[in-house]
């Protein structure tokens, strides 16, 4: 494969090379179906061959190619594992990430500054007023609002929250889960986040409740809690720090407590993220594999329950895209077309990834010593 790539770059065979490769997964260059690629600039071909996923995303954002259904395009591409066949730049990123702790304390706030602290109007348009930026639970839901309510309530029920408990929310976002737990279950909540903008919103949302919002990294956590949960934050921890994270949670959890971890999961162990997502959306993020998770948990917790509902993220991402696309012209702050294409590519490529079952969504319930008599799974 590498020899074929090199030959395609050196010669004028880039188009033929990609046409043949895409044809194997039923995608055509300049075809007429919704998932086919419409090529606007021939430079995109060499850029994709040389830079892989990074070149694919950058050339799309630059307007060098289009596709009416990006989610369908990525579903076909990723289901075939074609993305794994030319990953020269990704291999270099993987090697670097194995050597360097990209999520060390001095770098941990980079993702907050570059992503989570962005225009609140954009997030409100995409996520809704609740601003819940994680996978919804669509088992009985017909709307995004209901799916997000059901997800947060599922977390509370899995943890068996009761009035008077003290609960820690690691990566509390804009405070929706802390608000729900305090309001519906009568618990006291401490929420931590590295995003200043999220902390401001969360404090305002929970100002009349027994909820404290603290701007800090998980490594700085203090106190003792009956229950701990983390929803959509573990993807920013990094494999160098998984054991540190689990030890920090265990240090703060009572011996008879429960911890719920809600995270995207990978089918294969990797120390780096897709190159385009890493550069433009979630810098320094890593999606944990089952192997990484079990190694991090070993000796610290008993795994009581492992619940997967990855396909629900496909539906969640498609709804986020629909809302943002429909609201784009009404956003408080004007954005250029490249920014719109960037967000479209991000949301729809991720939807295709979950539809192809390339990525998963896991909720794990963990206890320090095992629940006496066994844990009764909640769905």
Distance CA 166, CA 189 (A): 6
Cite the active site residues: 350
**Residue 10 CB partners (closer than 8 Å, separation 6+):** none
pTM of the predicted model, to two decimals?
0.93
Q: What pLDDT does 334 receive?
A: 87
Candidates 346, 317, 375; CA nearest to 147 is 317
Whose tokens are 């200043």? That residue is: 196
Burial status of residue 106 (CB atoms within 10 A of its CB: 0-12, 13-18, 19 or more): exposed
Per-residue pLDDT of the chain (379 residues; tens, 9 = 90+): 444 444 445 545 889 989 998 999 999 999 999 999 999 999 999 999 989 899 999 999 999 999 999 999 999 999 988 766 555 456 566 556 566 666 777 777 888 889 999 999 999 999 999 999 999 999 999 999 999 999 999 999 999 999 999 999 999 999 999 999 999 999 999 999 999 999 999 999 999 999 999 999 999 999 999 999 999 999 999 999 999 999 999 999 999 999 999 999 999 998 778 999 999 999 999 999 999 999 999 999 999 999 999 999 999 999 999 999 999 999 988 899 999 999 999 999 999 999 999 999 999 999 999 999 999 999 9
Burial status of residue 337 (CB atoms within 10 A of its CB: 0-12, 13-18, 19 or more): exposed
Distance CA 279, CA 217 (A): 22
Candidates 271, 303, 309; CA nearest to 370 is 303
Q: What pLDDT does 333 receive?
A: 86
């Amino acid at each position: 494969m590498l020899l074929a790539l090199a030959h395609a770059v050196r010669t004028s065979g880039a188009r033929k090379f990609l046409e043949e490769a895409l044809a194997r997964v039923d995608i055509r260059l300049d075809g007429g179906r919704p998932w086919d690629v419409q090529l606007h600039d021939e430079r995109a071909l060499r850029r994709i061959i040389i830079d892989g996923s990074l070149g694919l995303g950058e050339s799309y954002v630059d307007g060098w190619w289009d596709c009416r259904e990006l989610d369908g395009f990525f579903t076909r591409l990723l289901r075939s594992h074609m993305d794994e066949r030319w990953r020269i730049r990704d291999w270099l990123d993987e090697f670097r990430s194995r050597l360097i702790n990209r999520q060390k304390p001095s770098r941990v706030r980079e993702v907050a500054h570059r992503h989570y602290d962005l225009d609140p109007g954009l997030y409100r348009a995409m996520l809704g007023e609740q601003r819940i930026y994680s996978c919804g639970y669509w088992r009985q839901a017909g709307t995004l609002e209901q799916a997000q309510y059901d997800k947060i309530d599922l977390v509370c029920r899995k943890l068996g929250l009761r009035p008077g408990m003290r609960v820690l929310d690691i990566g509390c976002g804009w405070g929706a889960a802390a608000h729900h737990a305090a309001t519906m279950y009568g618990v006291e909540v401490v929420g931590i986040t590295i995003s200043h903008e999220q902390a401001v919103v969360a404090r305002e949302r929970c100002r009349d409740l027994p909820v404290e919002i603290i701007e800090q990294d998980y490594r700085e956590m203090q106190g003792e809690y009956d229950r701990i949960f983390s929803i959509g934050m573990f993807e920013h921890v990094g494999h160098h720090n998984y054991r540190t994270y689990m030890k920090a949670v265990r240090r703060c959890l009572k011996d008879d407590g429960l911890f719920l971890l809600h995270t995207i999961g990978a089918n294969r162990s990797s120390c780096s993220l897709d190159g385009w997502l890493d550069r433009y959306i979630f810098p320094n993020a890593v999606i944990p594999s089952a192997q990484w998770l079990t190694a991090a948990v070993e000796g610290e917790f008993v795994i009581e329950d492992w619940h997967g509902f990855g396909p629900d993220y496909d539906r969640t991402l498609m709804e986020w895209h629909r809302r943002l696309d429909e609201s784009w012209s009404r956003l408080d702050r004007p954005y250029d077309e490249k920014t719109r294409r960037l967000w479209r590519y991000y949301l729809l490529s991720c939807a295709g990834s979950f539809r192809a079952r390339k990525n998963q969504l896991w909720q794990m319930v963990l206890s320090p010593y095992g629940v006496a008599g066994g844990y009764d799974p909640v769905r």
